[in-house]
Amino acid sequence: MSNTRIERDSMGELQVPVAALYGAQTQRAVDNFPVSGQRMPAQFIRALILAKAAAARANVELGQVSAAQGKAIVDAAQGLLEGDFMEHFPVDIFQTGSGTSSNMNANEVIATLASRLLGEPVNPNDHVNCGQSSNDIIPTSIHVSAALALHEQLLPALLHLVQVIERKAGEVHPFIKTGRTHLMDAMPVRLSQVLDGWAQQLKANIGHLQDLLPSLQSLAQGGTAVGTGVNAHPRFAELFSQQLTQLTQVQFTPGTNLFALIGSQDTAVAVSGQLKTTAVSLMKIANDLRWMNSGPLAGLGEIELEGLQPGSSIMPGKVNPVIPEATAMVAAQVIGNDTVITIAGQSGNFELNVMLPIIAQNLLSSITLMSTASRLLADKAIATFKVNEARLKEALSRNPILVTALNPIIGYQKAAEIAKKAYQQGRPVIDVALEHTDLTRAELEVLLDPEKLTAGGV
């Protein structure tokens, strides 16, 4: 028996695997784009399937497809989402720039399943794709998939990271360490102040991402081919967004100008830019952890990260800061993804952006990577590190920069001389200051008290 069947489309006949749910247009894409072996992201395909269900519901209400056809389409979409739907979506990321191949892949698969459920033909174009074009449903699916990924993955992960950092800040509040600027010794800080700074960075990023959600939840659907809405019912965009909102429990609305949402991907570029900023924050936190953990003998050795695995194939006993390193690599990848999205965003030629699949891939990759890395950083690095109090006190006692506290009393020039002598002689600054000022040890102990210095003021 043959393992293929004959399928037909507007360009003629071709062979399709006999068990495949898709049809001729999907097979042409599989044949034409053997580029990377990477399929469109599962989050994107999920959003596309949800969009097809929402469209069917809207079209039934508008009388554009029969109630039976609409129900079959919705049931087919829901059945896909309940199983391993990705096996039915083989089209490569690097395909036609509008994502038409992925749209037709969804149309064909859903039409096949809906036809089986209904017992009569459901057409991929006339029924599943009713009121739609690849040119509006693919930009819509980018927005929907990214919005859902932010709501379900990244924002909860970042909030978890903030909560872990703030809880750890409370635990380490008693510990005071040498601050550093330019990687050089500076005035003392509480370890809790360091962590609070990290938490505030992340809170700002969360706020900026939340600010972008209304734009991301504004959809191109209803614009069809070029933004005019040809072949779509005048109320289709409104009802589509209502139905999608019911299916996802996330508020989606029709875009105020569909030409802008089809001809450009400015919202995706803006979201990616904020993801890049978040990645920069994660890299800063990861690198701070690596520096504080460095050593343990020849580095700073201020904290000890949880040992998770052997660090060397040749050096016994070596343990490396693997979670911060992984986080830094994730951040680098997200920064790279943003560059791709920036270049792709400028490919809005007249009425259509023609790099939509790679925008979807990179946007969702950034969200997924940072979601996972944020939880790992929280649970396997920040929550579990230990403080080396002896090392902190040793460095503080020898830090000549503490003399900064004497500036208002003895002046900058005199304080600089004392700092240099303390450094050159390897002596505590309090001992050198006692020799070169009229201040008593008791007065110096108060003025140079690291705990007092972390509170600021004169």
Q: Which of 66, 312, 374, 436 is catalytic?
A: 312
Is 264 annotated in the active site?
no
Write the secondary structure of the chain as one string of H (helix), E (strand) and C (coil).
CCCEEEEEECCEEEEEECCCCCCHHHHHHHHHCCCCCCECCHHHHHHHHHHHHHHHHHHHHCCCCCHHHHHHHHHHHHHHHCCCHHHHCCCECCCCCCCHHHHHHHHHHHHHHHHHHHCCCCCHHHHHCCCCCHHHHHHHHHHHHHHHHHHHHHHHHHHHHHHHHHHHHHHHCCCEEEEEECCEEEEEEEHHHHHHHHHHHHHHHHHHHHHHHHHHCEECCCCCCCCCCCCCCCCHHHHHHHHHHHHHCCCCEECCCHHHHHHCCHHHHHHHHHHHHHHHHHHHHHHHHHHHHCCCCCCCCCEECCCCCECCCCCCCCECCHHHHHHHHHHHHHHHHHHHHHHHHCCEECCEECCHHHHHHHHHHHHHHHHHHHHHHHHHHHCCCEECHHHHHHHHHCCHHHHHHHHHHHCHHHHHHHHHHHHHHCCCHHHHHHHHCCCCHHHHHHHCCHHHHCCCCC
Among the listed residues 376, 379, 284, 337, the one whose alpha carbon sits nearest the alpha carbon of residue 146: 337
Say which residues have a Cβ less than 8 Å from residue 342's Cβ, sequence separation at least 6.
Answer: 269, 272, 273
Q: Which of 2, 10, 182, 313 is catalytic?
A: 182
Distance CA 365, CA 354 (A): 19
Tokens (6 digits) for 38:
């990477």
Specify whether the CB–CB gap between 245 and 219 falls below 8 A: no
Is 127 annotated in the active site?
no
Say which residues have a Cβ less than 8 Å from residue 152's Cβ, sequence separation at least 6.
Answer: none
Distance CA 24, CA 11 (A): 9
Catalytic residues: 182, 312
